[in-house]
Amino acid sequence: MPASTRHHRALAVFVHCLGILAAVPALPAAAPEAAAAPRPAAVTPPPTVPPPAAGTPRPAAPPPTAAPPATTGPTAVGPAVPVAARATSAEPTPPSAPPAVATPTRAVVPAPPPPVTVAVAPESSPAPRYRIHVRNVGNSPVDTTVRQELPSGSSATAISAGGRSNRSGGSAEVTWRLRLPAHSSTTLGTALTATAPGQPLTAPACAFTSDGSRPYDCATATWQAAAAAPAAEVTEAPPWRRYPVLLAGLGILLLIGTVVTWVWRRRRRGPRVTAAALAGGAADGGRGTIYPRPATPSPRRRRRTPPVWLLVGGAVVVLAGVIGTAGWTATRQVSSIDTQKQPTSGAWRGTGVSGPMGVPLRESAFEFTVYRMTCGAAGSAATAPGASAPPPGARSCQATVGVRNLTGAQQPWHGQLQRAYLPGNRWVSTDESATRAANLGRDVFANPVAAGSRVVLPLVFTVDGRDPPRQLELRSGVFSAGVRVQMP
């Protein structure tokens, strides 16, 4: 290779390295916030003035010129392509936006307390009596309607001033119309007839708005007879007094006695044979002989076994004891099955609970209490805006339900899981559009129930036919056993 070529290649390598070293300071080594800061406006350097000649007076310094205002776009001095290329090579690339982060779930705010609260307490008296405490906790007067549902088959014998008894269909109620001043309370009282001596009675009470459509608050209480003795508890007999156990024990004792008798007789027979053999050696008067007697073969005796009747009898006794114990156990398990309990669809968690109206019933997450159920006349089902028209002759049944979240976390629930069962094992789900209208346009199933909170709200079911619902099924989730409330 000629020397000139080698010099040119070395010079090219040197220039290339210098270019790399010159490009290193232009890399984005600054902090992201420094790189993202706006660049200061470029200041044009003043023109260079040559020094004056000797003897020439020095001109006065020009006044300082203010920097030109920054403009939003670059000033077009030359072609646009070189400017863009220069900006791309000199300015660092801005950092990319962080990835999208899921917005945290907002905690559900519990519903504000109602302006009117209700508390029901039973009295300790021979006849069913209740005290209803109604209180206005707001800062303004409230007109309210208080209703107390009477148990099926009972009627009111005494009502405090201002109340009246009404009966519609098979249910009866006591109604008061009150005007409560701000921060005031009042106590109402009722006395009922007992359906049966000593039978407990549950009578829930609710405070509604003045038109009686929307509940403020509800409460319930169960009256117990003061003189009623507690029901006698049926206790199981001790094991030694049960016939199957006695038969099994007798069979075991007979078997053990048979074995002990047979072993004792066998051991007693051994010493007798030995004594007979020793006595046979002294048959010659004890004189003995010089030569031993020739051995005489002794007859082989058959080994004795227990008699057949004893074995068969013991086996029969043991078999009878086993069969008796198995039959008694199976009878107890079958009798413990509740034939009145209906299966619940999808009950994978918890145990289904059934009870009457006005009694709190607990499932896996919620405690449900049905305080009231009213049904309108045939054709009273209204069509909500945007909903399909109900069938001809359909009517609306409104249930006042209390829901308490017993868990430490918010719990959602769905309207399609709340059902009203009609005669013939037919059922309908909650009419969500009618329920929203009954709750002043608020969708009660849109937001979950806050942890530890309690709400009282109306649920509307659109049913057909003349018979009201016989049962309500309420549940918090698809895999919850739920509760079943029997309607009076």
In one letter, which amino acid is 64? P
Give how far Cα 417 sits from Cα of 410, 475, 484, Å.
Answer: 18, 6, 12
pLDDT tens for the chain, residues 1 to 488 = 455 566 667 777 777 777 777 766 555 544 444 444 444 444 444 444 444 444 444 444 444 444 444 444 444 444 443 433 343 344 444 444 444 444 445 565 666 788 999 999 999 888 899 999 999 999 999 999 999 999 888 889 999 988 898 876 567 899 999 999 999 999 999 999 887 777 888 999 999 998 888 899 999 999 987 654 444 455 566 666 676 777 777 778 877 888 888 788 777 766 655 555 555 554 455 555 555 555 566 666 666 676 777 777 778 878 877 887 777 777 766 555 554 444 444 445 767 889 999 999 999 899 999 999 988 887 767 665 656 666 777 888 999 999 999 999 999 999 999 999 998 888 999 999 999 999 988 999 998 999 999 999 999 999 987 888 999 999 988 888 889 999 88
- Is the separation of the CB atoms in 448 and 410 below 8 Å? yes
Distance of CA 193 to the CA centre of its chain: 39
Q: Which CATH number fits domain 353-486: 3.40.630.40, 2.170.130.10, 3.30.420.40, 2.60.40.1240?
A: 2.60.40.1240
Per-residue model confidence (pLDDT) at position 219: 94
Handedness of CA 485, 438, 212, 453 (dihedral sign): positive
pLDDT for res 354: 92
Q: For 165-190, give one letter per residue: b (16+ CB within 10 A) or e.
A: eeeeeebbbbbbebebeeeeebebeb
In CATH, what is the architecture of 116-223?
Sandwich (2.60)
d(Cα 151, Cα 372) in Å, to the nearest integer? 11
| Residue 261 CB partners (closer than 8 Å, separation 6+) | none
Q: For the chain, how many helices (H) and strands (E)?
A: 6, 20
Q: List the one residue out of 206, 180, 187, 215 whose CA is nearest residue 130.
A: 187
**Residue appearing with tokens 């114990």:** 325
Alpha-carbon torsion angle 424, 486, 216, 384, nearest 10: -10
The Cα–Cα gap between 255 and 319 comes to 12
Q: Which stretches of 334-487 are assigned E, i.e. beta strand?
A: 353-356, 361-362, 366-375, 395-405, 419-422, 426-429, 454-463, 471-474, 483-486
Task: Using DSSP bridges, classify how beta strands 483-486 and 471-474 pair: parallel, antiparallel or unpaired.
Answer: antiparallel
